[in-house]
Structure 1
Amino acid sequence: MFLTTQLAKGVSLHIRQTAQFKTVNFSIKWRRPLTEKDAAERTVLTNVLQHSNERFKTSAAFRSYLDDLFGTILYFDTSKRGNEHTVLMNVETVNDHYLADSNVLNDALELLHTAIFKPNLENDAFVPAIVEREKEMVKQRIQSIFDDKSRYAQYRLTQILRPNHPASISANGTIEQVEAVTPASLKQAYDSMLANDTIDIYVVGDIDVEEMKEKLKKALPFGDREVHEKQAPIEVETKPEAYTRERQEMKQGKLHIGYSTPVYFGHEDFAKMQIFNGIFGGYAHSKLFMNVRERESLAYYASSSYSSQYGLVFVVSGIEPSNEKKAVDVINEQLKVMQDGEISELELTQTKAMLTNQLKEALDSARGQIEIYDQYKDLNEAFTVDTWAARWQEVTAEDVQKMAQQVNQEAVYFLSGKED
């Protein structure tokens, strides 16, 4: 799918030459082990880099130039996967093939170089006023979790399930760690990111592969760095609190349940666990949706998700507080019937079709192709839709039953109104 070459030790370039799109898409991902301190510093850093640089001192000037480049899109962000924190930079620009007289691609590459290697500095540190402004923006982003009750309930559940663990560390860090960021410490974080992070560079578009390699070697002159081995999942030593209830000013109750599974991303049973989650609560035909929401009318919504990087399954639902006990009972009942092998051929067929269609839809965009490949390349095998469709197709009801039997409930978290 992608042609991979090494630009330097620890710096990989992945190019997909395709006439599928009229744009050229770039994605650069800097990775390092996940800590709250690094997450906070690097999130503030992405905000600072996004809005100004040595060439364009203001956000308005920067955005105006992007508009001049036929609406080129450039943005920074942060994310996490497993035990790693990622700073990403995405750029999408029009392909010169579709313009009469233009050099937009070269201008975009020059801008990409400027945004990364020529930040807006003052006395060898980031500009204090800009840093303070962006710190406030990041703190507001973190604070917004507490205003969204569903996100807050999920945040609390992961804290209860996996305290001081990558699963419960936000990709944005904490408010306290953000407040501790200074212009000088941010410059140190920036220097460390460029010099030490493992880097993956992605390109998707109708381009000349060899020409693009040469252009990127000049635009992105990253040096060698130590390659960090992928860390194994962190062992959990403490048993979480089985039940937690909290109250806030709100009406609808948020019932979130956490389960563990020994099947992680890359495990030989990974595809089977994907099927399990789809039947349990992943789709509109799932047991949770059909029974908790439709049959019993106990929830405004009810679904499950499989966090394969951490070996966790989550059930989330919005309920009336008076329905809490019955909702928990019916949710438990759905896991029990799967553990007993009550899995229909229709549920299997529909789930396999949904997973395959989701994968195909993701690959309809350049960004989707990058993200899918970036995840599945860690499996050290050639990724194709056909390979995974065939893998899902082989999963039987007995396989799903075995997956269900390995899923163990660890914690129930219920958030409701103060008057309940």
Structure 2
Amino acid sequence: MFKKVVLQKGVNLYIRKTEQFKTITMSFKWIAELDDKQAAHRAVLSNVLQDSNADFPKQSELRKALDELYGTVFYMDAGKRSNTHIVSLNMECVNDEYLSTGGVFDEALKMIQSVLFKPNFKNGSFDEAIVNREKHTVIERIRSIYDDKARYAHKRMFDLMRPNNPASVSSNGTEEEVQSITSATLLDTYENMLNNDAIDIYIVGDIDEKELTAKIKSMFDFPAREFSRKPLEVESVKVKEVRKVFEKQDMKQGKLQVGYSTPVSFFHPDYPKMQVTNGILGGFAHSKLFMNVREKESMAYTVNSAYAAYYGVVYVMAGIDAELEEKAVKLIGEQLDALKNGNVDDMELDQTVALLSNSIRSAFDSARGQIEVYDQYKYLDEDFTADKLIAEWKAVSIEDIKKMASQINLEIIYLLSGREA
């Protein structure tokens, strides 16, 4: 799917030559270990680098330059995957082949050079006014989770299930860590990111591979680095007693989170089987949770399940009336029991596989989607293709579903509901 070129130790270029798009899409990714302090610094850094640089000292100047390059798209973001933190620089420009005048791609690459190697420094460090502004932006992003009760309940469930674990670390860090950032500490983070992070560069479009590789090597001469990516070990959790945690806030609808542990993680050979199992349980509109908890019994306003494969967690999210918590949890448990007993028909299985297949195929309709899917699955197979994964889903049997469901163990019941009058 992608051709890999090792530029330096720890620095890889992935090229996908395709005539599918009239644009060239680029994504530079810096990968480091995940912790609250670094997550906070790197989230702010991505905002600061996106804001301006020495060649375009004002944000308005940078945006004008992008517009002049036929609406070239540029943005940076910070995220997490498993036990790593990822800063991404993304740019998409029109392919010169579709223009009467060329040079747009080269100018886009020069702009990336400016963003990375010519920061908007004052007195040898980042502009303090810009740093403080972007600190405020990230803090507002962190605080916004408290206004979204579903997201807050989800966060609280993971905090309780996996404290002091990457599963409960935000990609933005904590408000306290963001507050502590200075121009000097941000400079240290910037230098460390460029010199020590693992770097993956993705480029998708109708391009000359040899010419492109030569340009990237000459324009982005990153030094070799020793960063090693160690998969997060998911330990088998022995649940002696199911935890029940009820919390109250000023709100109307109750937010129920039911957390389960499973030893089947992303790197487990049965990972595709667990994906299908979760799909049948609550991943789609035909799932057992949706059909029975919401449609048949009207027990929940919304209900679905998700599989956090990197952390070995399956969880159910439901919007309910708080007084129905016990009945809802019982009914949710019955849907999982149905899977454990093999009460799954061929139509449920076939629909789930079809919807999983459609979701990954639709991701391939965009260059960005191709990059993100491959960037995840290449750790399982560098020759990954959507067809390979779809074939694994199609091979899943009802007996496999029974086995997977038997490895999903209830660990916590968390309910966030309104205050009593």
Secondary structure of 1:228's counterpart equals: coil
| In the alignment, structure 1 residue 101 sits paired with structure 2 residue 101 | yes
What does residue range 313-332 of structure 1 map to in structure 2 within 5 Å? Answer: 313-332=314-333
Does structure 2 retain, via aligned residues, the 8 Å contact 1:160–1:241? no
Deviating runs (4+, > 6 A) in structure 1?
236-241
Does structure 2 retain, via aligned residues, the 8 Å contact 1:112–1:219? no
Q: Which residue of 1 aligns with 2:114?
A: 114
Structure 2: stretches of 5+ with no match in the other structure: none
- Residues 120-147 of structure 1 show CA distances to partners (whole Å, capped at 9, x for unaligned) of 1112211111111110000000000000
Distance 1:229 1:22 in 2: 34
Structure 1 residue 231 displacement after superposition: 3.4
Q: Which residue of 1 aligns with 2:189?
A: 189
Q: Which residue of 2 aligns with 1:379?
A: 380
Does structure 1 retain, via aligned residues, the 8 Å contact 2:237–2:261? no
What is the TM-score of this pair, normalised by structure 1?
0.98
Structure 1 residue 23 displacement after superposition: 0.4
Structure 1 residue 234 displacement after superposition: 5.2
Structure 1 residue 230 displacement after superposition: 1.7
| In the alignment, structure 1 residue 211 sits paired with structure 2 residue 211 | yes
Secondary structure of 1:379's counterpart equals: coil
Does structure 1 retain, via aligned residues, the 8 Å contact 2:17–2:207? yes
What does residue range 142-153 of structure 1 map to in structure 2 within 5 Å? Answer: 142-153=142-153
- Residues 296-342 of structure 1 show CA distances to partners (whole Å, capped at 9, x for unaligned) of 00111100000111110110010111221111111011011111111
Structure 1 residue 61 displacement after superposition: 1.0
Structure 1 residue 227 displacement after superposition: 3.0
Distance 1:194 1:330 in 2: 51
Structure 1 residue 54 displacement after superposition: 0.7
AA matched with 1:23? T
- Residues 34-93 of structure 1 show CA distances to partners (whole Å, capped at 9, x for unaligned) of 010000000000010011101111111111111111111111101111111100111000
AA matched with 1:406? Q
Deviation larger for 284-293 or 95-104 = 95-104
- Residues 265-292 of structure 1 show CA distances to partners (whole Å, capped at 9, x for unaligned) of 1211111101100000000000000001
Structure 1 residue 236 displacement after superposition: 7.4
- Residues 323-364 of structure 1 show CA distances to partners (whole Å, capped at 9, x for unaligned) of 211111110110111111111111100011011111100011
Secondary structure of 1:90's counterpart equals: strand
Q: Which residue of 1 aligns with 2:49?
A: 49
Does structure 2 retain, via aligned residues, the 8 Å contact 1:162–1:236? no
Q: Which residue of 2 aligns with 1:404?
A: 405
Structure 1 residue 385 displacement after superposition: 2.1
Secondary structure of 1:216's counterpart equals: helix
Distance 2:135 2:97 in 1: 41
Q: Which residue of 2 aligns with 1:86?
A: 86
What does residue range 158-237 of structure 1 map to in structure 2 within 5 Å? Answer: 158-233=158-233, 235=235
Does structure 1 retain, via aligned residues, the 8 Å contact 2:41–2:189? yes
Distance 1:14 1:54 in 2: 29
What is the TM-score of this pair, normalised by structure 2?
0.98
CA RMSD after TM alignment: 1.3
Distance 2:307 2:237 in 1: 21
Instruction: State the number of aligned residues.
Output: 420
Distance 2:411 2:97 in 1: 55
Does structure 2 retain, via aligned residues, the 8 Å contact 1:255–1:317? yes
| In the alignment, structure 1 residue 255 sits paired with structure 2 residue 259 | no
